[in-house]
Structure 1
Amino acid sequence: MGLTLRALILAASATRVLASCAHGTFLRPRAEGDTVEVANFGYTGTITINLHGEQGPLNWAALETPANGACATGSRQSPIDMVEGVFEILEGSNVELTVNDMPDGAEFENLGTTVEVITQGGNLKVGEKEFELQQFHFHLPSEHLDNGTSQAMEMHMVFQSANQEIAVIGTYINIADAAAAEAPAKRSRIFGRQEAGAGGAAATTLLETVFSVVDQIATPGTKTTTPPLVMSEVVDVLKANAFQIYSGSLTTPPCSEGVSWHVSTARLAVTTATFVKARDVIGFNARFPQNTPGEPNLLMVSALGSAAAAVAAVGAGAPAA
């Protein structure tokens, strides 16, 4: 059945995917000049095969073949449900993380599939490996699940090493409002530590600042400049907590594997008004949760299951679809 699925993929049209979570890295270098690349993949649609194909995650592999093949055949795909047993814990104190402030603001772009801040320097060092920060962007709702639970948003900070390896810090974003500010601090179900930015903490200043101008890039392909960005607040929160680490993939085409994921146990937050403002521009842009790392790709599992069900139906005398 794997060959059958690959045949369907190859039968679809192959068009170039212009932007992804790897935007600005060696996988998707930035365009020269003032052009803001707009992706032609999306988050809705099915695996229906037609002249132009569908843009949703079930058909990402067909949008650019064979480059996006891992989207349908990879066995370490992201995002995943962050449950005990699928990750290791790395304390923030064991990570060297620096992100430069941006006193003149930063370029803020609408790629059509997400909104992205182009950073101006920052480093992540884990053990002997060192990565340079390229950009950070947002998904709504969260792509990773927290022990089966979706969060309001997720921020991805994308790093690249000199050896062209990619590491991503994923941080959940919750909604802080007046009612939450009066509630006791919420504790992580797994780790028992306080979740920064939720259950009584104030909204994260960095996020409020970034999203204060998100309405200026409501149209895909547009960009603006943010107000001055002070990164230390978020860096301090990340280093004060821990990271759940695992080897996965990009969560957008080309779904390349070997990505070093660091999903923070911390929580950032935005006000309700800011969440609505961001939602109205970003819309829905979360890939569905994938299989446990190391297990067969869900699209392959689905193909096998559908074929088995069809065979069983024919054998039972039911008319074939």
Structure 2
Amino acid sequence: MCEWQIVEVIPHRLWNRPAKTLYKFPENSSPKGHSPKLFVFGDSYVDTGNLQPFRSSGGCVLTDYIASFLGINSPVQYEKRNLAENKAELKNGMNFAYGGSGVLKEAWNNHSMTIQINNFKQQIKEKVFTKYDLENSAALVSHAGNDYTYLYLNQSGTIKEVHDLAGRVVDQLVKNVKEIHELGVKKIAILGSPPRGCWPQLNPRPRTNCNGTWNEESRFHNQLLTAALENVEESTKNVFVFLDLYKAMDLALQKNKENSNYENPLEPCCDGVTDEYWCGMKDQKGAEMFTVCRQPELSFFWDKVHPSQNGVHAIFLDLIPSLERLL
């Protein structure tokens, strides 16, 4: 659940407290005349509850911050769209993202981005969203790297095979983005790959530095993606906004590391008691097989892959200049 929320985001005036909105626009900078809908596609970095009832950060994820930046609440989850209490939230759009998904058919689950877009098409067909809704909306697309980690960890792939997969992944990702545009969404923000070499999952102890090989693969993915998006944007009237998640996370990690009040930023706050368990897992008897750090607000990573709410907040701050293109 997204509990601790940001009231205001203005340089040198930041604080946390319980509140209704995550982001309060600096004076004279809010959108004019309308509140857009937000449609979300991708993985656990933006999933607010389709895969499971809790968020991967242990709190707010990027979807929550970006929705609030647009002046709306976080959009309703696709899996919960028919619940009576969620009907009113359709005015904010819909979140189709599913934790563990990629753009290829085989990832950690069978909810690829293509399937998510097909679910979106069905909502349009059923007239849940109108042409006007789509034209006055934005989309958020995330691919943090599930296709790569699935190949490497589940299929015993090599780093070279991960590298060789990048072209295919980026081609399909761009195809998905173009399809969202063709459905009528004019503004689309695409998250780049984070520095996966900093993930505790891919960075064995002692975690004093990030894994340079995996970070290089993230940069390669982003180079291919930005080049492809530039070519697509030239041929359409669409606005494609590349959100440099690698740069934002790297900068946030450095700031976290320099602040002596914080825990080691490369260690997860919530982790399994052994390598076979993940945050949130239980054994056959229902006993919790994970531990949570004493002060989650001082961590950067929540688990082996996902930033904590503290980490997500720091990342969001660096993305604000790019997000302004969506207004």
| Same fold (TM > 0.5) | no
Name which one, 1 or 2, has greater alpha-carbon Rg.
1
TM-score relative to the length of structure 2 = 0.24
More strand by share: 1
More helix by share: 2
TM-score relative to the length of structure 1 = 0.25
